[in-house]
Amino acid sequence: MVDAITEFVVGKIGNYLIEEASMLIGVKDDLEELKTELRCIHGYLKDVEAREREDEASKEWSKLVLDFAYDVEDVLDTYHLKLEERSQRRGLRRLTNKIGRKMDAYNIVDDIKILKRRILDITRKRETYGIGGLKEPQGGGNTSSLRVRQLRRARSVDQEEVVVGLEDDAKILLEKLLYYEDKNRFIISIFGMGGLGKTALARKLYNSGDVKERFKYRAWTYVSQEYKTGDILMRIIRSLRMTFGEESEKIRKFAEEELEVYLHGLLEGKKYLVVVDDIWEREAWESLKRALPCNHEGSRVIITTRIKAVAEGVDGRFYAHKLRFLTFEESWELFEQRAFRNIQRKDEDLLKTGKEMVQKCRGLPLCIVVLAGLLSRKTPSEWNDVCNSLWRHLKDDSIHISTVFDLSFKDLRHESKLCFLYLSIFPEDYEIDREKLIHLLVAEGFIQGNEEETMEDVARSYIEELIDRSLLEAVRRKRRKVMSCRIHHLLRDVAIKKSKELNFVNVYNDHVSQHSSTTCRRQVVNHQIKRFARNKRMRSFLYFGESEFLVERYFETKLLRVLDLGALPLPFARIRDPVHLRYLGIDGVSLNDIADFISKLRFLQTLDVSRYSIRETIDLRKLTSLRHVIGEFFGELLIGDTANLQTLRSISSASWNKLKPELLINLRDLEIYDTYKSKEGRASVSWASLTKLRNLRVLRLMANHGIYLSLKSEEAVRSMDVISSSLVSVTLDAITFGEDPMPFLQKMPRLEDLIFKNCDYWGGKMSVSEQGFGRLRKLCFFMESLDELQIEEEAMPHLIELLIISKELEKLKLIIPNRLRACMR
């Protein structure tokens, strides 16, 4: 595992030597020497990693290397910080810069001399104790970059996750949910050992179309071993989506008893379904049940647990369902779906080897899918190597999930290892937004771009790799792409354990840290806390709890790269000099002085203030490293020369019209809202302003009231060939059309999603020609008025979803091919 950290630090030294060459002239040779020595040590670490068992001497030596790598990072970042601070000085203080730079240079020379002595000592210890032999490692990320790219191209993005072996269980439990004649609150308990698929089965039921139709009010929450009843209640309230705006802010401050009463009031008299995932003790259910009304509406509660006594210990009427292990036939079906995705020819020897390994998994689905994920990225000749390694670690004549995971983890490249370890920051059962995860990984410095791909594209490939290996589960998909994901409880436990060993992430749960550390670079809070250990080396702070003030005089942020406050109302006055900050996240809390604070973040890459409406002017003109700006910017938003900007949502049309779109050459995702009509009564967003955005993929135009938009104008026609070539998704919200927009929109060659939301159309009839919308997969109409929709027989050959909602739907004349009627819902 340590090899992932050393490789990261070696890359960081290389970046500093390139980017800060002029500032490191006096120590460049020493840094090159450190880099070379650390790379050699990295080779020995990979050899240690590849061994079947790691002896105590190797463990202690690896820890020395880990501490050394972290200290190298600290020295470089601290020196860079001092240089940046001096470059920002003005007036008389600037005159002291020359002397100050010399002092800094002397200091870093001394620091690097100390580091050189330490690395020589580490090398001597390796030689003394005979650690490592630089043999070619058996695993440890030996897949070439070319092979990885080939696997990514071979992967079917259309492939949906299929649940195998749970069909009969789902049928039985659906019967209990939908047709069991009991109007009282009824509880269904699903129990069995970890990895059997309890959560997958509960989610299959929860997302069933029949269940959605029967239960208007549905909520999902998780419990786990360490829980707070108040947090569980709050998650149920949020999941119900019945509270908004000021009401949401109000209940954040409720005590546990108040939340209990509030939730009971929300559900009283309603038919609801609540899923409570991963309960470990009866007391957790006792704490919750008072908030769930025992009404006569036919409500249902689903509980998942590993413990039979908990499943059968709930009071009232219940049905306890024990999950079985898969049969060999079911196990092989599950294995085949994943393991052979990149193998064209399956010979008898390969099938025999595969079946022998599957047999030893003893029907445990999680073990099977992780094994299949590992083998799916191996050539047929490498399958025997994996089999032999597993055979040496059999326990009770079975393959254990921990053994399979260790093999899969060792097989990852160092970047993918860091990505997996980073998943430990998220709370249990947390639905991880893929784009947020990508932004965090980039901000942490884990991702390096290349000439062909942006850093975000590279990060996406690492996430896809983890999903392919079944180390991460895809939850939601859109346009055939993963939008959110989740890590299994057991694999999350492994990620936390490994992160603890590496001092990589420090997680605070229930007021205390899972492993107290004042040196760990990443601090994560999953519950409310009053204080946490002050840490001068901290690179990241992430808060996933509910609102709670931290009782600290100030917040140590000198080297901070990631600050995700979530719902934490931490005053910016307590955050000192966040010079290095790359990521700032705020979720739905109002903070004073936010505009002034943001304007000073010169290296900021991602500003995510979603669910927070900012009405003051935000000046980002000095933030030239910006890549993603996300929020509701109702005030003026000033943006300068930001060639790296990829995401901008949402910006007012007034602010947009003051920008120079030709500078936003890499913009991919744009959302513009219009709050007023121009004097001519037409949309104030000019189509010409979009013609410079050659890489734009997602476009949303929104208005507070019916803005008139003409797509037959000379300006619109001129811009068609320019903006349409890259667009994949278009959403038009509260737009009024004077003529049929389809002749304009249907020419977009890559368009896959087209959504008309709260739109009005005066012309009565919309028509799509035979060659129209060659790639369109989703077409949605949420129209105030639409008289007729005509689609020619050959149009939209790839459409899979057609949704039409109109006030006068019964009067709509629909002339469409029969094949498209099957897509309607």
Query: Residue 751 pLDDT more than 70?
Result: yes
Rounded CA separation 322/226 (Å) = 24
Task: Give the model's confidence band at 88: pLDDT under 50 very low, under 70 low, under 90 confident, else very high.
Answer: low
Q: What is the pLDDT of residue 23?
A: 60
Cis-peptide, bond into residue 650, ω within 30° of zero:
yes
Query: Residue 153 pLDDT more than 60?
Result: no
Query: Residue 528 pLDDT more than 80?
Result: no
Which residues 6+ apart lie within 8 Å of 116 measured at CB? 30, 33, 34
Q: Taking Cα atoms as reference points, which of 666, 587, 592, 655 lies closest to residue 624?
A: 666
Average pLDDT over residues 91-119: 66
Query: Residue 650 pLDDT more than 60?
Result: yes
Average pLDDT over residues 321-339: 93
Q: What is the pLDDT of residue 344?
A: 74
Q: What is the SS3 assignment for 373?
A: helix
Q: What is the pLDDT of residue 459?
A: 95
Query: Residue 615 pLDDT more than 80?
Result: yes
Task: Give the model's confidence band at 104: pLDDT under 50 very low, under 70 low, under 90 confident, else very high.
Answer: low
Which residues 6+ apart lie within 8 Å of 787 measured at CB? 764, 765, 811, 812, 813
Q: Which one is predicted more confidently, 20 or 3? A: 3
* Choice among 292-306, 503-517, 620-634, 644-658 with the minimum mean pLDDT: 503-517
For the beta sheet containing 432-433, the strands, ordered from the edge strand earlier in sequence to the opposite edge, are: 432-433, 481-486, 473-478
* Choice among 50-59, 95-104, 149-158, 614-623 with the minimum mean pLDDT: 149-158
- What is the CATH number that goes with domain 413-502? 1.10.10.10
Query: Residue 678 pLDDT more than 80?
Result: no
CATH class of 664-824: alpha beta
Residue 229: both structure tokens together: 């009843």
Q: Tens digit of pLDDT for each residue in 126-147?
A: 877 777 654 443 444 444 444 4
Percentage of the chain surpassing pLDDT 70?
A: 82
Q: What is the SS3 assignment for 620?
A: strand
Q: What is the pLDDT of residue 568?
A: 78
Query: Residue 340 pLDDT more than 70?
Result: yes
Chain-centroid distance, C-alpha 265: 33
Task: Give the model's confidence band at 681: pLDDT under 50 very low, under 70 low, under 90 confident, else very high.
Answer: very low
Query: Where would I find the H helices in 540-647?
Result: 594-599
* Choice among 367-371, 693-697, 751-755, 821-825 with the minimum mean pLDDT: 821-825
Q: What is the pLDDT of residue 676?
A: 56
Q: What is the pLDDT of residue 133?
A: 55
Average pLDDT over residues 602-619: 87
Rounded CA separation 213/195 (Å) = 30
Q: What is the pLDDT of residue 145?
A: 46
Rounded CA separation 199/302 (Å) = 10
Average pLDDT over residues 510-522: 61
Q: What is the pLDDT of residue 777?
A: 93
Query: Residue 377 pLDDT more than 80?
Result: yes
**How distant, in Å, are the alpha carbons of 425, 629, 750 from that of 670?**
29, 10, 17
Instruction: Note whether 564 and 583 are within 8 A (CB).
Output: yes
Q: What is the pLDDT of residue 646?
A: 96
Q: Which one is predicted more confidently, 243 or 672? A: 672
Instruction: Note whether 653 and 633 are within 8 A (CB).
Output: no
- 489-501 and 414-422 helices, crossing angle to 10°: 110
List of long-range contacts for 386-389, beta carbons under 8 Å, 24+ apart: 386/357, 387/353, 387/356, 387/357, 389/52, 389/138
The most confident of 41-55, 287-301, 538-552, by mean pLDDT: 287-301
Helix, strand counts (H, E) of the chain: 27, 28
Burial class (CB in 10 A: 0-12, 13-18, 19+), 208: middle
Which residues 6+ apart lie within 8 Å of 485 measured at CB? 431, 432, 434, 437, 463, 467, 472, 473, 474, 475
Task: Give the model's confidence band at 157: pLDDT under 50 very low, under 70 low, under 90 confident, else very high.
Answer: very low
Percentage of the chain surpassing pLDDT 90?
A: 31
Q: Which one is predicted more confidently, 628 or 592? A: 628
Query: Residue 182 pLDDT more than 80?
Result: no
CATH topology assigned to domain 167-322: Rossmann fold (3.40.50)
Average pLDDT over residues 526-540: 72
Run of H or E residues at 189: strand 186-191
Q: What is the pLDDT of residue 140?
A: 43
Q: Tens digit of pLDDT for each residue in 427-486?
A: 888 889 999 999 999 999 999 878 788 999 999 999 999 999 999 999 888 877 899 999
Cα Rg of the chain (Å, integer): 29
Which pTM was predicted?
0.85
Rounded CA separation 195/306 (Å) = 10
Average pLDDT over residues 81-90: 66
Query: Where would I find the H helices in 550-593?
Result: none
Query: Residue 567 pLDDT more than 60?
Result: yes
Q: What is the pLDDT of residue 77?
A: 84
Query: Residue 395 pLDDT more than 50?
Result: yes
Average pLDDT over residues 625-643: 90
Query: Residue 89 pLDDT more than 70?
Result: no
Q: Which one is predicted more confidently, 727 or 512? A: 727
Q: What is the pLDDT of residue 286?
A: 84
Q: Which one is predicted more confidently, 280 or 707? A: 280
What are the structural domain ranges in the chain?
Answer: 1-129, 167-322, 350-411, 413-502, 503-645, 664-824
Task: Give the model's confidence band at 684: pLDDT under 50 very low, under 70 low, under 90 confident, else very high.
Answer: low
Q: Which one is predicted more confidently, 785 or 487? A: 487
The most confident of 111-120, 234-243, 456-465, 689-698, by mean pLDDT: 456-465
* Choice among 223-227, 241-245, 259-263, 685-689 with the minimum mean pLDDT: 685-689
Query: Residue 92 pLDDT more than 80?
Result: no
Q: For the chain, what is the mean pLDDT?
A: 82
Q: What is the pLDDT of residue 52?
A: 56
Q: What is the pLDDT of residue 735?
A: 83
Residue 173: both structure tokens together: 């439990």
